[in-house]
Every structure is written in C-alpha cells, then in structure tokens.
Structure 1
C-alpha cells in the first residue's frame, strides 16, 4: 500500500475525545501535496495514527453548516 502524505495546515477544533486519548477533530489538511481540504476524523495523540474520516471542500463545508443550522437539536 502506498504511503499517504499529509500536512495539517490548521487545527480548527476538537469535537470529542475518547478514553484512549483519540480525538475527533476538524482540521484543514493537505493530502499528497494537494490543495488543503477540511477533514473530520479521529486522531491518535500526537497525530501518529488516524481513523477513517471525511474530507470536504469549502462549499461542502458551507452546505453542512447550513444543514446543521437548520436542524432542531
């Protein structure tokens, strides 16, 4: 399996943390030297391992924001 290169450009915020220290974070990440995208996924402490996640461009993030703002939580 080829290695995946990533660089966390900005940590936007932490959504939660589990008892093993893994944190679900929203970050701006450049994957394989591409344009950075917003990314939600679980990270081990020090970002040495990651779980599966979802990446969003700015427009997708805006639409997600609008959907969440429209929800009655």
Structure 2
C-alpha cells in the first residue's frame, strides 16, 4: 500500500499493461487500483518509475470500461 501527500491512499491491485513510455521513463499504464480502501477500479494514468509519483488520469468502473471497449472496437 502506498501513501501520497497523506491525503489519500492507493494500492495497485493488478498491473494490467503499459500503453506507452516517455523519454523520462514515465509510463502510461492501465492498472486495477484501490483508492482509499475502496473496491478497485480500472485506472489509466502516467506513473513515474517504481510508481513513486503519478500524473492525472482517469478511473473507470467495470461497466464504464466495457462501454469504452465497445466504442473502441467500432472505430
């Protein structure tokens, strides 16, 4: 379990995949993350190496991820 600025807690429950990596080593990742002890949700955001810092991202419930998948498959 990790803490960030003592404001909230997060735990990366499952690392699903890396979408891209930038020149500084940050990776855009799709993970299953539990925020503040809540049930985990799918999370897409940039992470510094070793997950010590994070960028802004988007968190999706199972149903939202399923809808996104439908949209992407029609493109």
Q: Give your verdict on TM over 0.5.
A: yes
Q: 2: distance between equivalents of 1:6 and 1:53?
A: 14
Corresponding residue for residue 8 of structure 1: 12
Corresponding residue for residue 68 of structure 1: 72
Corresponding residue for residue 26 of structure 1: 30
TM-score (norm 1): 0.94
Q: Does 1:53 align with 2:57?
A: yes
Cα displacement string for residues 12-59 of structure 1 (whole angstroms, at most 9, x for unaligned residues): 100000000000000000000001000000000000000000000000
Q: Secondary structure at 1:42's aligned position in 2?
A: strand
Determine which structure has the larger strand proportion and give its number.
Answer: 2
Q: What is the alpha-carbon root mean square deviation over aligned residues?
A: 1.0
TM-score (norm 2): 0.91
Equivalent residues, number: 71
- For structure 1, list consecutive stretches of 5 or more residues without a partner in the other structure: none
Moved beyond 6 Å, runs of 4+:
none
- For structure 2, list consecutive stretches of 5 or more residues without a partner in the other structure: none
